[in-house]
Each structure stands twice: as structure tokens, then as C-alpha cells.
């Protein structure tokens, strides 16, 4: 009987459930990622009281605020979802997300209302994070509880496509608006359009979700009077459930999260910021890989119904660990062959006493916070996106930058009495050093930007598509697996927290952490050790301790 149900065609009602849940979640991800895609413009609009570097850093910190609060949204809305129902809870989450996004679009900037502008913006960003923290668990639980046994992987895989589709939609709307109004107008006022049009997406989502019925599993449990009165204490106060929450986090979700953000966000960052591919081209290449890769969410979700969730998720993590370094190096050769050639022919090193070098990855460091020659050298190389190695020398030895056989002396920075800028002499010396460094890099064949004529765009799209396919392997089956790990009465709460800690903290902060690692070490590939280490740990824990869930009956028991 179960086999017959598993092979039966999807009913009209089931298609409606998947479409309504997925569409709303696509719009939520669209709203969430608009901010990240427009961070440089938002920095100028809302943090204009700071110098440009600090403004961009604070804009990124505001972006990160949305990720940081996601687990708290999981707790608040997960509790409501387990107490009052799935349908009305994620109706509330989409209202909060849509309204917060629309208000960003009409919010006066720093020049109009001063410091109130960034304060309100950060508040709205935190509301978005809270809403997203409640949305995903609700949508995944709702669809899984409507799915017939033997089809949960295939049905919930549609929810798994939504984060990627939301990212794709945000890139396309931004690109379309930019093209329509022009770059100057877009930077002035056109950037608001993608935020404002989200109100239309909100209206459609709310209309569709109001027509949805409650999930059958929750309805049955409510009729039997078995709903949880205290889902938080049941989920996290009882060891039998808490240990499953912990295993879900450290044996599945953390690894899934870093592979997701590496394959999409970090790949985009690496193309544009490290390999110096122009922003529009990088967006288009990533968008093409998303079009190719997205159907594999459903492929792997469906396959997990046949062979299990665990082997597919763990295989995706293992492949990422084994191939990230060769894939990103191949990406360099395809996107910026001149850079790859220069790095091989003319390596760069910083020869300095390690005790004089500061931590380069600080998100709040200013130019004048780096006064030692070692710091000035590393900062200048980072600003030129030049990869280098570190060579320790004895204390008292002068710091030099070695480019091939050429050595450049690095000046000391001396601050004025106020400490806000370099004095005239050291300021001039640092400027002269930076110019000499830039000229030397150019002479050594290091390009200022990627040459579009030399790019192998087909190879780039193939590499990016492989990275996206890894994403689909780890992400496609995971909603079904998380749903199956927990009982109905506390499912929304229990699955939401590990998902949003993993994806909000370990995944969402992945580009920032990887960038800090690169800034500190100097090697442009060094940041890849972060996702490789996290995915590797998850692979081992998942292999040894996480049980397969494919055959679990989610209607059985409480």
C-alpha cells in the first residue's frame, strides 16, 4: 500500500500545498538577500556619516545581524507553530518579512534623518532575520506533513529550491532595474525599487496562504488533545530530544550550511572580489549556474526517498572537502588566467618579524589601526587582491615585500597627535610605497582586473554548476530528514533551532570568516579551510552517530 502511494501521481491539493509554501518562501528569501546584493549602495545611503571603508563594514555587520537573530526567530515562531498551528504561524512570518522589506525601500537615508536611519535599518534587518527564523521550519514541516509516506524527500525538495530561487530572483530584479534606470539613477533612488515591489509579492503570498488548510498531522494531534503546552522545554529541556537537536546541528546542518554558502555566496564573492571579474558578469555567470543546478534539488530529494537521506547529504559534504581546492584553483585559471599565470611565475611573500604583525581580519579595523610595516604591507597587498605567503625573519630585521626577485622596503606609519590619520611624512611614504607596489605588481603581470576576452566562461559556468550541485546534494534531502528526526508535537521548534544556528551562524557568517582568514594568512584560497573543516567534522559525526530516517512514520506517536 505504501509503495502504491509512493508511486501515485501528485494530487491537485498536494501541488497547491507545495506551490503555496514554496512561493511564499521564495519571496522571503528574495527579501532577505536583496540587502546583501545591495550592501555597497546601502552603505552610502545609510552609513554616510562614516568613511567609505567603515561604512561598508557596518553595512555588512547590519547584513550579518539578520543571520545572527535567525535562531531566536526559530524559538519564537517554532513555539507558536507547535502550539497554535503551522498555517497561521508562517502567515505571520511572511507579513513581518514583507513589511520590513517594504519599509527599507521607503526609509529616509542618513542625509535626511541622520543617525536614526541606520538604527531603524538595523532594526528592520533584525525583524527580517526573526521572520526567516520562523518561516523555513514552518514551510518544511507543513509540506512534509502533507506528503505521503515514501515521497517526503521529493515534496520537501521544492522548499529546498526556494533559497536559491530567492537569490536568483533578487539578482534578476536588481539587474533589470539597473538596466532600466541606468547606473547613476540606480545608485541615487533606483535601488529602492526592488524593495518596494516586494509589497506586491507579499500581497500574492498572503492571499495564497490564507486559502491553505492546516497540516493533517497537526490537525489530528490537536483533535486528540496532544499538542505541546511547552514546546521549548520539551525540545531542549529533555535529554532524549536535546541530543537529537545537537546531532542534527553538528552531524548534518553545520556541514550543509557551509557547503550551501560556499557554493553560492562565497563563489560569487570570490569571482568578483578576489578574481576581479566585473560585478554584472559575475552575477550573470552565477545566475546561469543556478539555472543549471537548481533542478538537482528535486533530483536528490527524490533519490533520497529511494536510497536514504544520509548517504546523499554526507556524499555532498565529502565531495566538497575533497574538491574545493582544485575547483577554486580551476576557477582562477578560467576567470583570470593572467592572475593564475602571474602567481605561478612571480610569487609574492612578506618577510617580517611575526611579532610585529597584527590580526588583519578585524571587521572594524581602520587604515590608521595598522602602523607597523608588516601590517601596512599586508593591507596594501589585500587592497590589490594579491595572494602572498609569509616568511618569518629575526626581530629587528626590516620588513620587505618580495615580488619575484624584487624587494620593496615598507615604511612605518606615524600618527598625528589626534591619532586619526598618519602624519605628513609617513602618509607620503605609505602612498609612495603603495604606488611602487601597484606598479611592481603590474610589471610582474598581476592584472588590475580580469580580462573578459581571456575568460573561459563555459568552464566557469561548469565549475560553478558543480559547486551548486554539491549544494543540492546536502540541501535537497535535509528538510525531510530534519522533519523525520522529531515528533509532531515539537517538530516545528525542534527542527528550526538547529537549522537556523547552522545556517544563520556557521553558514551565513561563512563569507565573513573566510575573508578574515584570507586577510590574516594572505593566501587567497586559505578561507576554504573553514567550510572544509566544518563539513569534515559533520561528515564524521554524521557517519558515526546520525541514524537514517527515510522509513520513519511521522504520524506515529506524539
pLDDT by residue (tens digit) across 489-519? 777 778 888 888 888 888 877 877 887 788 7
In a domain, 448, yes or no: no
Give residue 273's pLDDT: 79
Picking from 219, 238, 266, the residue at the C-terminal end of a domain is 219
Q: Which three cell numbers stand for residue 243?
A: 541530543
- Cβ(473)–Cβ(316) under 8 Å? yes
Q: Which domain holds residue 164?
A: 11-219
Partners of 349 in beta bridges: 389, 402
Q: Which range is least confidently modeled, 121-125, 146-150, 254-258, 329-333?
A: 146-150
Distances (CA, A) of 477 to 87, 169, 422, 471: 23, 23, 55, 11
Give residue 221's pLDDT: 66
CA quadruple 49, 50, 53, 57: dihedral sign: negative
Distance CA 314, CA 296 (A): 16
Distance CA 3, CA 68 (A): 42
- Whether 384 and 421 map to the same domain: the answer is yes
- Whether 339 and 353 map to the same domain: the answer is no
Angle between helices 152-181 and 116-146 (to 10 degrees): 150
- Whether 24 and 168 map to the same domain: the answer is yes
Q: How far out from the chain centre does Cα 155 lie? A: 24
- Whether 462 and 384 map to the same domain: the answer is no
Q: Which range is least confidently modeled, 18-22, 186-190, 376-380, 426-430?
A: 18-22
pLDDT band at 362 (very low <50, low <70, confident <90, very high): low
Give residue 226's pLDDT: 61
Strand-pair category, 389-392 with 406-409: unpaired
- Whether 198 and 272 map to the same domain: the answer is no
Instruction: Tally the domains of the chain.
Output: 3
Picking from 195, 219, 243, the residue at the C-terminal end of a domain is 219
Q: Is the pLDDT at 459 greater than 90, yes or no?
A: yes
Determine what percent of the chain falls in helix, strand and coil, rounding each to the nearest 5: 75, 5, 20
- Cβ(318)–Cβ(369) under 8 Å? no
In a domain, 24, yes or no: yes
Q: Is the pLDDT at 121 greater than 50, yes or no?
A: yes
Q: Is the pLDDT at 39 greater than 80, yes or no?
A: no
Distance CA 66, CA 557 (A): 36
Q: Is the pLDDT at 3 greater than 50, yes or no?
A: no
Mean pLDDT (whole number) for 146-152: 84
- Whether 474 and 507 map to the same domain: the answer is yes
Mean pLDDT (whole number) for 457-478: 96
Q: Which three cell numbers stand for residue 325?
A: 581546492
**Under DSSP, is residue 394 helix (H, G, I), strand (E, B) or coil?**
coil
Q: Is the pLDDT at 232 greater than 90, yes or no?
A: no
Distance CA 545, CA 536 (A): 14
Backbone angles phi, psi at 524, to 5 degrees: -65, -15
In a domain, 2, yes or no: no
Q: Is the pLDDT at 373 greater than 60, yes or no?
A: yes
Give residue 515's pLDDT: 78
- Whether 495 and 435 map to the same domain: the answer is no
pLDDT in tens, 43-100: 788 877 665 555 666 776 777 788 888 888 878 887 777 777 666 787 888 888 889 8
pLDDT band at 543 (very low <50, low <70, confident <90, very high): very high
Distance CA 154, CA 156 (A): 6
Q: What is the percentage of the chain residues whose pLDDT exceeds 70?
A: 90
In a domain, 450, yes or no: no
Give residue 325's pLDDT: 97
Q: Which range is least confidently modeled, 183-197, 231-245, 448-462?
A: 231-245
- Whether 77 and 171 map to the same domain: the answer is yes
Mean pLDDT (whole number) for 275-301: 90
In a domain, 224, yes or no: no
**Under DSSP, is residue 539 helix (H, G, I), strand (E, B) or coil?**
helix
Distance CA 49, CA 31 (A): 26
Distances (CA, A) of 443 to 144, 335, 390, 404, 500: 59, 20, 22, 11, 48
Give residue 227's pLDDT: 62
Give residue 399's pLDDT: 92
- Whether 359 and 336 map to the same domain: the answer is no
Phi-psi region for residue 403, left (φ > 0), alpha (ψ -120 to 50) or beta?
A: beta
The CATH number of whichever domain residue 370 belongs to comes to 3.40.30
Angle between helices 152-181 and 279-293 (to 10 degrees): 160
In angstroms and rounded to an integer, the radius of gyration of the C-alpha atoms of the chain is: 25
- Cβ(390)–Cβ(350) under 8 Å? yes
- Whether 133 and 234 map to the same domain: the answer is no
Mean pLDDT (whole number) for 439-461: 93
Partners of 228 in beta bridges: none
Give residue 168's pLDDT: 84
pLDDT band at 529 (very low <50, low <70, confident <90, very high): very high
Give residue 4's pLDDT: 44
Which of 3-7, 303-307, 547-551 shows the highest mean pLDDT?
Answer: 303-307
pLDDT in tens, 243-263: 999 999 999 999 999 999 899
In a domain, 23, yes or no: yes
Backbone angles phi, psi at 408, to 5 degrees: -115, 125
Q: What is the pTM of this model?
A: 0.85
Distance CA 16, CA 208 (A): 9
pLDDT band at 222 (very low <50, low <70, confident <90, very high): low
Give residue 521's pLDDT: 87
Angle between helices 116-146 and 491-501 (to 10 degrees): 130
Q: Is the pLDDT at 339 greater than 90, yes or no?
A: yes
Angle subtended at Cα 89 by Cα 104 and Cα 490, rounded to the nearest 5 degrees: 130
Q: Is residue 457 packed enough to be buried (19+ CB in 10 Å), middle (13-18) or exposed (0-12)?
A: middle
In a domain, 451, yes or no: no
The CATH number of whichever domain residue 144 belongs to comes to 1.20.1250.20
Mean pLDDT (whole number) for 415-435: 87
Angle subtended at Cα 215 by Cα 214 and Cα 219, rounded to the nearest 5 degrees: 80
- Cβ(57)–Cβ(363) under 8 Å? yes
Partners of 409 in beta bridges: 400
Picking from 168, 193, 219, the residue at the C-terminal end of a domain is 219
Give residue 1's pLDDT: 38
Give residue 467's pLDDT: 97
- Whether 413 and 465 map to the same domain: the answer is no
Partners of 211 in beta bridges: none
Distance CA 361, CA 340 (A): 24
- Whether 323 and 389 map to the same domain: the answer is no
**Under DSSP, is residue 261 helix (H, G, I), strand (E, B) or coil?**
helix
Average pLDDT score over the chain? 85
The DSSP call for residue 356 is G
Angle between helices 116-146 and 70-84 (to 10 degrees): 40
Distance CA 414, CA 426 (A): 6
Other beta carbons less than 10 A from residue 21's beta carbon:
29
In a domain, 6, yes or no: no
Amino acid at each position: 500500500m505504501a509503495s502504491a502511494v509512493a508511486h501515485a501521481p501528485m494530487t491537485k491539493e498536494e501541488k497547491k500545498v507545495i506551490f503555496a509554501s514554496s512561493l511564499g518562501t521564495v519571496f522571503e528569501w528574495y527579501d532577505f538577500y536583496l540587502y546583501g546584493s545591495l550592501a555597497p549602495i546601502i552603505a552610502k545611503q545609510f552609513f554616510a556619516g562614516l568613511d567609505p571603508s567603515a561604512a561598508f563594514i557596518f553595512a555588512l555587520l547590519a547584513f550579518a545581524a539578520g543571520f545572527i537573530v535567525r535562531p531566536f526567530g526559530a524559538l519564537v515562531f517554532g513555539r507558536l507553530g507547535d502550539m497554535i498551528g503551522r498555517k497561521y504561524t508562517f502567515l505571520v512570518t511572511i507579513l513581518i518579512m514583507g513589511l520590513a522589506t517594504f519599509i527599507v525601500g521607503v526609509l529616509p537615508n542618513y542625509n535626511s534623518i541622520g543617525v536614526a536611519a541606520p538604527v531603524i535599518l538595523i532594526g528592520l534587518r533584525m525583524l527580517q532575520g526573526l521572520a526567516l527564523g520562523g518561516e523555513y521550519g514552518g514551510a518544511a514541516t507543513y509540506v512534509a506533513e502533507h506528503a505521503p509516506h515514501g515521497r517526503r524527500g521529493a515534496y520537501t525538495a521544492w522548499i529546498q529550491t526556494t533559497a536559491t530561487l530567492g537569490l536568483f530572483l533578487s539578482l534578476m530584479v536588481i539587474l533589470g532595474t539597473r538596466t532600466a534606470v541606468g547606473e547613476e539613477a540606480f545608485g541615487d533612488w533606483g535601488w529602492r525599487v526592488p524593495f518596494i515591489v516586494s509589497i506586491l509579492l507579499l500581497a500574492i503570498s498572503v492571499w495564497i496562504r490564507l486559502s491553505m488548510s492546516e497540516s493533517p498531522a497537526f490537525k489530528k494531534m490537536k483533535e486528540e488533545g496532544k499538542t505541546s503546552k511547552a514546546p521549548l522545554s520539551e525540545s531542549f529541556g529533555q535529554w532524549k530530544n536535546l541530543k537529537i537537536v545537537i546531532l542534527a546541528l553538528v552531524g548534518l546542518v553545520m556541514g550543509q550550511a557551509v557547503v550551501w554558502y560556499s557554493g553560492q555566496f562565497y563563489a560569487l564573492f570570490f569571482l568578483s572580489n578576489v578574481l576581479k571579474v566585473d560585478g554584472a558578469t559575475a552575477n550573470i555567470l552565477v545566475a546561469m549556474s543556478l539555472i543549471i543546478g537548481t533542478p538537482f534539488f528535486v533530483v536528490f530529494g527524490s533519490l533520497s526517498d529511494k536510497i536514504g537521506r544520509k548517504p546523499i547529504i554526507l556524499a555532498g559534504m565529502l565531495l566538497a572537502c575533497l574538491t574545493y581546492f582544485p575547483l577554486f584553483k580551476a576557477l582562477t585559471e578560467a576567470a583570470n588566467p593572467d592572475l593564475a599565470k602571474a602567481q605561478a611565475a612571480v610569487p609574492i611573500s612578506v618577510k617580517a618579524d611575526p611579532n610585529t604583525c597584527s590580526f588583519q581580519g578585524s571587521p572594524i579595523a581602520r587604515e590608521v589601526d595598522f602602523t607597523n610595516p608588516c601590517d601596512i604591507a599586508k593591507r596594501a597587498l589585500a587592497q590589490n587582491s594579491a595572494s602572498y605567503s609569509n616568511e618569518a625573519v629575526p626581530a629587528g630585521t626590516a620588513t620587505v615585500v618580495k615580488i619575484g626577485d624584487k624587494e620593496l622596503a615598507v615604511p612605518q606609519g606615524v600618527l598625528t597627535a589626534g591619532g586619526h590619520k598618519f602624519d605628513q611624512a609617513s602618509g607620503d611614504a605609505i602612498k609612495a610605497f603603495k604606488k611602487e607596489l601597484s606598479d611592481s605588481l603590474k610589471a610582474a603581470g598581476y592584472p588590475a582586473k580580469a580580462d573578459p576576452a581571456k575568460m573561459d566562461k563555459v568552464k566557469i559556468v561548469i565549475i560553478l554548476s558543480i559547486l551548486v550541485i554539491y549544494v543540492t546534494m546536502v540541501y535537497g534531502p535535509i528538510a525531510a530528514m530534519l522533519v523525520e528526526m522529531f515528533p509532531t508535537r515539537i517538530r516545528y521548534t525542534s527542527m528550526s533551532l538547529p537549522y537556523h544556528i547552522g545556517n544563520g551562524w556557521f553558514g551565513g557568517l561563512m563569507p565573513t570568516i573566510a575573508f578574515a582568514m584570507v586577510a590574516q594568512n594572505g593566501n587567497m584560497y586559505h578561507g576554504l579551510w573553514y567550510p572544509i573543516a566544518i563539513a569534515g567534522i559533520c561528515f564524521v559525526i554524521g557517519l558515526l552517530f546520525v541514524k537514517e530516517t527515510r522509513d520513519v512514520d511521522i504520524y506515529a506517536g506524539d
